[in-house]
Amino acid sequence: MKKKVIIGAIIAVVVLTLVIVSIVRNTDSAVAFGDRGGLGVNVQKISRGGIISYISADGFIQEKEKAQVYFDRSLRVLDVYVEENQEVSRGQEILQLDFSPLDSELEQLRINRNIQKITLEMAKSGGEIKNLSNAVRNAQKALEEANEIYNEKKSLYDSKAISKNELENAGKGVEDASFALRDATDRQNTAVENQGMDIGIKEQNLISTDLRIKELEDTIKQFKEYARSPMKGVISRINIEKGAYVGAMQLAYEILNTEELMITAYVNEYDSKNVAAGQEVSIWGDAIPQNIEITGTIESISPRAELRRTTGGEEIVVETVISIDSSYSFLRPGLSVTCDISAQSKDDIIVAPLEIIRNDRDGNNYVFIVDGEKNTMVKKNVSLGIISDMTAEVLEGLNEGDLAVSDPQPTYRDGMKVNIIDKEEK
């Protein structure tokens, strides 16, 4: 008897379970197909609105202004007054250099210039030719005296008063005097012929020396300016020390203006056609607090594309310069950021959420709308315009007030009976 009671209880539990399952199934069916037996669907009412499409580009923060100072002469550093990461003001003394080698070089050039100037003035006054003319007259006089001596010696030789050797020596004196006269005359004639050319050469030499003096004076002036900060900013690098020499064409120090920053972003070639100067930009990154919104504006776009290596390989990009609207203490040159560029925008257009749009095998976009009179789904091909992250502009295929099926499934077909479960206003 006891066993029969237990068996009866078990049968009762099983029957009760089957009844509950049947009720649940019937309830789900009612939800799925509605009270009238159609497929239960959620719909969204199509409306007019605005849309903005964004282009995302990675980039780096850079300073708008920096100064890199080089010296093209090796000079000894007498003292250094700053260190790295130190803030400096415009005109502040950075270092002291030993200018004595340049000062000595400049003094020597000035001395050479004075000598060249005197020589040029003599050439212009004819002083050199006068000296050569005097040399010719002296040579002529010497020849005359040599001839007189020879004639006297010849008379003595004819009277056998002197030896032949003495006569020959007198003759040699005439030959030497004749040669000296010819040489002096040739030099005089050459000087007269080349007087204009010689003056021109001396003038050019003087001009060349003046240029060297001016160049050296400018160099000294420039180096003295380089010894002071050319701008307000922060010393980011310094490669000099007291007692050492500044290296020729080696970076001495670098100053960055950290208050005025910009971003160099790299837009991929596909999106570059939709980027233009003046577009607004939203900026974010790991170094930017989430509760702070940083905005900027595209200042300029490179006229050429370039190949850039990334972690994912290589891509063709266009360099884009973005100004930052405000300054922030946590922004520093070298930080990486992502820039969302407001590329396109429209107002008062038909806008549809992307979740209602599907693609067929031919790549056509379509949606399902509900025919309220027939309670059926109607498949509508749509043409899209601007596409943002969540919505798209519908150029053709939908009208304001249409009820579009949310999240359409691959099993949905044109003409299927439906029952609206929930209608969402967009």
Enclosing domain of residue 75? 66-90+231-256
State the CB neighbour count (10 A cutoff) for residue 276.
Answer: 11
pLDDT of residue 35: 45
Q: Residue 151 and residue 146: Cα distance in Å, rounded? A: 9
pLDDT of residue 126: 66
Residues 130, 60 share a domain = no
Helix-then-strand count for the chain, H and E:
5, 20
Give the pair of three-digit tokens for residue 412.
């949905």
pLDDT of residue 168: 87
What letter represents residue 151's amino acid? N
Q: Residue 349 and residue 388: Cα distance in Å, rounded? A: 14
The answer to the question of residue 13 being in a domain is no
Q: Residue 339 and residue 102: Cα distance in Å, rounded? A: 51
Residues 108, 204 share a domain = yes
Assessment of whether the complete model's pTM goes beyond 0.75: no
pLDDT at 90 over 70: yes
Top pLDDT among 19 and 73 is at 73
Which of 20-24, 79-83, 86-90, 324-328 has the weakest average pLDDT? 20-24
Q: What is the CATH classification number for the domain harbouring 287?
A: 2.40.30.170
- Four-point Cα dihedral 371, 374, 375, 381, nearest 10: -30
Stretch 372-388: mean pLDDT: 92
pLDDT of residue 194: 61
The answer to the question of residue 14 being in a domain is no
pLDDT at 8 over 50: no
In the three-class reduction of DSSP (H, G, I as helix; E, B as strand; rest coil), residue 10 is classed as helix
Give the pair of three-digit tokens for residue 71.
């010296």
Which of 41-50, 51-60, 117-126, 369-378 has the weakest average pLDDT? 117-126
Handedness of CA 241, 242, 247, 251 (dihedral sign): positive
pLDDT tens track for 187-203: 878 777 666 677 788 88
What is the band of 343 on the pLDDT scale with cuts at 50, 70, 90?
confident
Closest CA to 259 of 72, 97, 63: 63
In the three-class reduction of DSSP (H, G, I as helix; E, B as strand; rest coil), residue 132 is classed as helix
Q: Residue 379 and residue 393: Cα distance in Å, rounded? A: 18
Stretch 19-40: mean pLDDT: 47
Residues 247, 149 share a domain = no
Give the pair of three-digit tokens for residue 353.
């959420």
The answer to the question of residue 281 being in a domain is yes
| Backbone phi, psi, residue 303, to 5° | -75, -5
